[in-house]
Structure formats: structure tokens, C-alpha cells
Structure 1
Amino acid sequence: MYAPLRLPRALVVGVGTGNGRQDYLFKVVDTSSNLIWMKCKGCDPHSPQRHRLFDKTASPTFRLVPGTDPFWQPPYWSEFNGQACAFRVDGPRERRVIGATAVARGLTRFSYCLFHGGGDANRRRQGFLRFGTDVPRNPRYRTTKILPALGARNESSGHYVRLVGVSLGARRLDGIRPEMFARRDDGQGGCVIDLVTPLTVMAREAYDVVEAAVWSDLAHYGAERVELSGYGLCVRASSEAMKGRLPSLSLHFPEEEAALVVSPEQLFLMADDEEQGRIACLAMKPGRRTVIGALQQVDTRFVFDLKDSKLSFASELCIQDTVQDV
């Protein structure tokens, strides 16, 4: 019987607001959304919330934004209600009409660095979302362009990047073509960086090439393929022939030096079987578009510069940018 694979969890983020620092817990960090929002006291949430609602009466800086404020311009569609302004958000699941409140402006640059959560000590640690001048400098950053929105009103405003190729170890995979990752005019396809998706999803055509190449590489060293529901490729990893044989993967962007290297620890998930021992499964699944998921972002710092439409990244031991959870 297989022990369950330990998948990455969604990120939970706490923020503090106001001079008296009131802490609020955000369920998840979703960099594919262009809106940060929380439930407010006085509303009637459709789903229960364990933590406190934002209370505008306790905030010395809360104010309604007037409908004439220059902030209310596309991509937001204003709806006037007297002297106050509201906005409507259309999404794939629901439509919300939200009363406008004070808006923080100018923070167009942010960064995160995901660390390994394994072990009791690490699970009690907290990392940071860093903004503006708090983003660390690093001469080793590699940079690629964040693609602009296509302009469709209902399109997810995720951070799309242009992926052009894949390497297994030091070998560029000839069967991977840039058009496999192209974003179409209808908003389908493309490649996005996402924290909500645990494991990387790769466009089906490209995934088939990657899985075949990984299996060919492992079979060369005598790997034994096994089946595990929900995963396309799993091998026994307990044999002597397999020690140190799991490969790394590189995702190539158009810029010559911009390659995101995914280590074997982030490319494979491990499970234990009573009869077959240690099993390694490729932590990647096929899909209609390519999504670089949370597991494949571990120990890499990502810096999003929304003003200049740039994504920078560099390998980092992210546990060093954490503190003990009190």
C-alpha cells in the first residue's frame, strides 16, 4: 500500500493594517489575480470565515473613494452610487459588486521565496511577501518579460510569460516547440506563473515529450516503471542504480540567459510502498495551458515588476528568509 504523497499546500498570508496593526489572514496568495480583497464587517459572506472581518469603523484611515477619483479607470469598470464609487469584478465563477474603500497605491514591485515545508521545524516558520524597496537585490537575477493582457474583459489577468523550450539535464529537447506554449487570442494556452496550482501543468503536446524523455533517461539507468493513480510516470527509486539519477529540468524563456532550473527535489514527488520501497513520481501533469506551479518554485526568489512588466528570478536558499512562527 502506498503512503500518501505530500503535496504542497496553498499559501496562507497574514497582513497587518492601520496604526494599531490589526492582523488579517488571507486564505491564499493568488498572483493570477489583479485584485487583493478581504471580507468586511457588515457584509453577509456566503461561506463561513474563521478569522475576523475587516471593521471599517475601527480604521482611522478608511474612506469611501469618490466616483470622480482618477483611480477608477480600466481595467476597473466604475458604477456610481451617489458620491461613492463601486466596482464590478467579472470572473469565471461569480460576479461581485464591492463598495470601494481606501486604496493603497504605488506598490508595483513584489517578491516571494518559497521554502521547503517538510519537518516540524520548517512547518513552524514563516516567510515573507516583500514589496518595493524591501525586495532583495541580487546580481544573479535572470529576467524575462511579463506579457500584457489581451484586453478581453473576462480574461484572467495572470502573469503570463513566454516559454520557448525545455531542457532535461543539459540536453535541450528537440521535440519541444515554442508554439506549444503560445497564448491564443481567445485567452487559451500560454504559460503562467501561479502559486495556487501545487504542481506544474504542461500543455499536452509538450508534456508528452517531457515524460517520454524523462522515462528514456531513467530507463537507461535501469529504472523500473510502476503505476500510481493520478501520475503519468513513476519509478522505483530505492535501487542502487537509481541513486542520484533523477534529472533536473530547465524551462527556457526568450532571453538567452533566462532559464528556470527545476531541481530533482522539485521535479519529483516521493512515496513509500510496503513491497516496492521508495517510489519517485514526475510532479507534472498535462493540461490545456502551461502553469508553473508552487512546488517547482521552491528555493527560487521571484520578483514581479508590474510597472516595467518584468519577472526576475534567482536560485536562493529560501529558508534563510524566514522567521520562527510565534
Structure 2
Amino acid sequence: MASNSTSGVGKTILVTGGSGFVAAEVLNAFLSRGYNVRTTVRNDHSADKVKKSHSKYIKQLSFAIVKDVQIPGGHDEAVKGVDGVVHTASPFLLQVEDNERDLLLPAIKGTTEVLASVQKYAPNVKRVVVTSSFASLVDISKGGRPGHVYSEKDWNPTTYEVAANKDTNGAVTYCASKAFAEKAAWDYVKEHKPQFDVTTVCPPMVYGPSGSVVTDLDHLNTSAADIYRLMNGSCKEVPETSFFAWVDVRDVGEVHARAYESPEAAGQRYLAASGRYTYQKVCDIIRKDFPERRNLVPEGTPNAPFPDVYGIDNSKVKKELGVEFRSLETSIHDMAVQFIEIEKATGKA
């Protein structure tokens, strides 16, 4: 998808959590349009990583250190002088000690504190784009939910009490945390009537090659590790698929930029999903495109029919933001190529 390469010249966007997997492509989408991008990181080490991965845009990049997203006033300095904000920072953990302390509060407060800082110290900001998730739409208790088609109208129904309960599974609480954080953003606008509007982007499982410099295949981000295990011999069986919706990370970056630039996106929620997948389909693609890897990739049941599970309606984001999504074949192929390059570079091939 071609972007308008000069639309952002002279403007500055703040992207929170700049060292993240999705954030790397959000940065690319804005930098390639000519925006100056200030991004928050937890420390100088993270800033150095972003500088390396986005070296061709180094003149447009600046950094603000925010050690903890939920501290009141933690973003006050970071937002000063910016024209727009994209909030991507949120904890992605499934194994935690305390559901409320480690998942719910950081996600919710991390969102509302950013909005409070923008309202106080960034009068030029008219649009804040918040990275939410398919997790904020999905009803986990219904499982595969045959016959249902998920769209922006859906909300994860898990209650706060259930999500905060120490006996609740971490994945259930993580999904709920995304819903509560997104609702907190909508409630903030309703209650505080700031000078900006909010748009939310809800991606499901995010795949595709990493826009960050990756030097260690033993410490991949969650999404990359999820696919790499299928081609490095560590996974002997095709895993059960638990979420059936996916999107390419490069498309997620593009959706964020368009959600910021489009006047019609004010107050809208977008399900940024390419479509559905299974791990079987992923294995089929790797086995077909990289025959030399076949002995490392679980075979399962090649070309098995798609299971009878929920559908995905991505017509809104396609129609309103003009987004065209990459195919699963393209996304997985490009990931595998990158993994093989890293193996060669690190002597693991």
C-alpha cells in the first residue's frame, strides 16, 4: 500500500512504547510520510535499539524516557509540542503474580494517564490513536463460536471482578485488560471532553517480519517466537489454534497512520484483521515455500479444511481507511525469510 510520502512534513507525532513489535511498524508508517516522531522508551538501551532499526530516519526521530506508563504525569514532558499521539504501550504478559496489579491497572492507567497528559500539555493534539486489540472484542467463554462473525460491534464481556480474581487464567485477564483499557479511553473522552478525539485500532494475532533489529533467535517477541518454533524443529506436532484471526504487522502500522490522518476516523473503532488462519495453514506454507525445512516443520494434516469457527468482518477498516491486507502466505513467507537470514548471521544455520 502506498502512503502519502509528504503528508507529515513539519508535524510531530508521539508514539508510546516505541521498542515494541507493532510500534516498530507504526514508526515506519509515520516516518515514511515525513513526520517527526518522538517515541517513549523505558531506557537508553531501548532507544539505541530503535535508532538501529530506524537508522534511515534518524533525523526525524527523538526519544522520551518513560519508565512506567501508569505513573501520573509520567507523559507530561513527552507530549509537549506534539501534533498527534499514538498510544501503543501496554503489557503483554500471560503469566503474572497478581492479575489486577500486573495486567489490569497498567493497561487502564497507562491509557488514561497518557490522555490526561495530552489534555494538559498538548493543546495542538486533535487526534489520539489507541492500540487496542481483538482481545477487547472476543468472548473467550464461547470458544470457536461457529456462526458468529466478529466486528467492531462486539465487546469482550468479562467482568472486572472475574478478570481481577487470582484464580482466573492469565490469558482471560489479558484479553479483559485490553477491553477495560479501550473502554477507559472512550470514557475519558466522554467525561473530560478534551480538545482531541480518539480512534481505536483492534488487531488480532500479529505476524510478519520484525521491523526491529533482531540478533537473538532465543529471545524473540511473542508473535515471532510463535511462528519460529514451527520451523526450527522444536515443535513436533501442529499446535492447536486458539485464536483464529490474524494480521500482518506492516498493515497494522499503516492502519494507525491512516486512523490518525483520516477526518472520518474520529471516534471510530477499527478491527484491523486480515482474516483467519490456523497453525496447520502456517505449517503448510512453510513446507511448500521452504522444502529444505520440511523435516523441521510439523506436517499435521496438510490442506485440512478450515474448522467451523467464528468469522471476521474487516469491511469497515477496508472501506473507511482504504486498507488492503497482505495474505497469510506473504506474511509467513516474509517471516521465514527473515528467520533464515538471522540464523545465517548468528551462525545458527
Query: Smaller-chain TM-score range?
Result: under 0.3
Q: Relative contact order (alpha carbons < 8 A, sep ≥ 6): 1 or 2 greater?
A: 1
Give the TM-score normalised by the residue count of structure 2.
0.26
Higher helix share goes to which structure? 2
